[in-house]
Amino acid sequence: MRDDAQTDTNLGQTERLFSLVGGGLVLLAALRRPSISTLPVALGGGYLLYRGLARQDPVYEALNIRRNDDGGKLLVRRSATINRPRAEVYAFWRNFENLPGFMEHLQSVTVAAEDDRRSHWVTRAPLGQTVEWDAELVEEQAGELLAWRSLPGADVENEGRVEFRDALDGSGTIVDVTLEYRPPLGAPSVVVARLFGEQPWQQVRDDLRRFKQIMEAGEVPTIFAQTSGRLQEVANERARLRGE
Amino acid sequence: MKAVCWYGIHDVRTENVPDPIMVSPRDMILRVTSSSVCGSDLHLYDGMVVTMREGDIIGHEFMGEVVEVGKEVHKVKPGDRVIVPSLVACGHCTFCAEGNTSWCDNSNPNAWVLEKMYGQSPAGFFGYSHGFGGYAGCFAEYMRVPQADVGAFKAPAGYTDEQLLFASDAAPTGYQAAEYANIRPGQTVAVWGCGAVGLFAMKSAWLLGAGRVIAIDRVPARLRMAREQCGAEVLNFEQVDVVEALIEMTGGRGPDACIEAVGMEADQGGLEGAYDRVKQTLRLETDRPYALREAIRACRKGGTVVVMGVYAGFVDKFPIGAIFNKGLTIRAGQQHGHHYIPQLLRYVEEGRLDMTFPITHRFSLDEAQTAFELSRKREDDLVRAVFFH
């Protein structure tokens, strides 16, 4: 699925500018002393120049990354089919406190006691840090749609949207998830990406797979702490399982 | 406990490892009483399967006695003697619900690995590399079986392990091959490979109404077993041109269904053999598909080719032109054991299916290296090696 609003460009303005200027300079430098050894440099410069001119990066395109404007926001869309009734799938997601059970980077979500449209989110960040924000439910159509958004003051502005629909062939409920993160004041989007794993688009796919596994199979399959000839690894994993 | 661990090419060792533990309320712990070296284990032994790790416990064809169950397990209890298919299934996804359990959406902890290779991941398998889930295998005294309510089938009373063991993998795989072959009464079915899977495909072809069964291999002991135990006419591919022979034997038409029970390490001499070995060694192709090419060439127009031998990656010189112009149907896939085991056990109880006959060699777990070497070289008339734990 593609973002309908901005179809041709997946680069932010800042990134595009860097690409144009940087790529042009690199290319020029390389062309002044053409040789086999400067060829890769010229090609690299040419590529940067191209993506700047074209306002879009074929690699990003292939990886389904969009970073239009807003200082490099990160947009990820993923879809999964769950063999459970739509109302049940919706209800599980509607209780945001269930999300850390399958979204790996989430440490906890606490729904406000006085207002179930408000919640506090805590995510794991590198080096034992956490990133936190308050969020509110901004749209709710029972069994069909959920959308939430971080409140002003969030470490990382973000919003999410999930649409629920019946698979046409009766094979369950299709969930379409869109997540969007905006870093504080122009920080490179790659920094945000790091907060959510090396590859956010893979992360969300894995999260959705776990969601499906919990809904259908009742558990996320695991081989953690199982036996093998790697005695030290087994001992370490079992210690972690016991909470040591 | 004692377990057979993989360490590399032609290197498996029987070692002392920690006992398995349950990590989910749907798990059970099984005391394995017997297990068998499957042809696909030889791909691991030969180093053909990626994502293996040193120390992995291998093995996926087994039965045993339940010793402990989690609190969400209701259909089996400690003391039950059970057969477990070679793979894990959740029992609830759309594929499991329709009986296609080897396509289970939810049982491979490392699904992302195979999604990169295949687009989607099949189920998780016991003892068959981390891409396929990394579950510890059955060549061990005890093992953890996840989703026990879905995966454990009670053994009918009054039968020995030898009479039931192959219900775990070889028999349902062969049966599925014959069912996929879409046999109409009186039709001719050719089967490449006279290992246990091929032999069970032959037996199953008769059960499903075949009029004629032709077996192809080159190992005399296996051809003899196909002829004597499975009522097959046999062809030794070292002595005849298989495609020519099959076409002549079928009134010039070719077999109605061709079952390939060989897989990615097929043997072949001559120029074609050298070609594929070089390409495989250089990793320009991962699998050697001679038997498959032959099956496609021999199959009659509009016929069905069933791929039951294990393939993992890519093959070269794939005869798509023959498939297209002869309008062939190709069916393939890992066994959906959970779907077939009850039917096969009924056949055994009715006296219509003997599952004992492929066993030629018996070993203890301590003799694993010997069992693997003999199996690999197909020496000493070995068809199937079984461990009694």
Size of interface A-B (CB pairs under 8 A): 103
* Test the B interface: residue of A228, A232, A233 with most B CBs within 10 Å: A228
Closest to A225 (Cβ–Cβ): which among B21, B54, B92? B21
| Residue A2 confidence (pLDDT) above 50 | no
The DSSP bridge partners found for residue A108 are A122
Contact A216, B105 (CB under 8 A): yes
* Domain range list for chain B: 2-169+335-388, 173-332
On the question of pLDDT at A190 being above 70, the answer is no
Asked if residues A145 and A163 have their Cβ atoms less than 8 Å apart, the reply is yes
Q: With 90 as the cut, is the pLDDT of residue A19 above it?
A: no
Q: Name the token pair of B296.
A: 């496609």
- Burial string for B179-206 (b: 16+ CB within 10 Å, else e) reads bbbebeeebbbbbbbbbbbbbbbbbbbb
Give the tens place of pLDDT for each residue, A194-221: 565 556 778 889 999 999 999 999 999 9
Q: ipTM of this predicted complex?
A: 0.92
Which residues in chain B have their CB less than 8 angstroms from residue A221's CB? 88, 90, 106-109, 124, 133, 146
**Tens place of pLDDT for every residue, chain B, 389 residues?**
999 999 999 999 999 999 999 999 999 999 999 999 999 999 999 998 989 999 999 999 999 999 999 999 999 999 999 999 999 999 999 999 999 999 999 999 999 999 988 999 999 999 999 999 999 999 999 999 999 999 999 999 999 999 999 999 999 999 999 999 999 999 999 999 999 999 999 999 999 999 999 999 999 999 999 999 999 999 999 999 999 999 999 999 999 999 999 988 877 777 777 778 777 777 777 777 889 999 999 999 999 999 999 998 888 889 999 999 999 999 999 999 999 999 999 999 999 999 999 999 999 999 999 999 999 999 899 999 999 99
Model pLDDT, residue A59: 61
Q: Are the beta carbons of B57 and A224 separated by less than 8 Å? A: no
To the nearest whole Å, the CA of B28 is away from the closest chain A CA by 13
Nearest Cα to B52, choosing from B10, B115, B103? Answer: B10
Q: Do domains B2-169+335-388 and B173-332 have the same CATH topology?
A: no
A216, A221, A230 member nearest B92 (Cβ) = A216
Domain B173-332 classification at class level: alpha beta
Give the residue-averaged pLDDT of A77-102. 97
pLDDT at B269: 73
Bridging pattern class, strands B304-307 and B329-332: parallel
Give the closest residue to B117 by CA, choosing from B47, B42, B50.
B50
CA distance B31 to B35: 11
Which of A121-125, A231-235, B118-122 is the least confident region?
A121-125
Cβ(B386)–Cβ(B35) under 8 Å?
A: yes
- pLDDT, tens only, A28-72: 777 777 676 777 677 777 777 777 677 666 666 555 555 544 556
Indicate the CATH number of B2-169+335-388 among 3.40.1390.20, 3.90.420.10, 3.30.1280.10, 3.90.180.10: 3.90.180.10
Q: Assess A223–B contact: CB distance below 8 Å, yes or no.
A: yes
**Domains and their CATH numbers in chain A:** 13-63 (no CATH), 74-216 (3.30.530.20)
Residue in B61, B15, B64, B55 with CA at minimum distance from that of residue B41: B61
Residue A198 has a pLDDT of 56
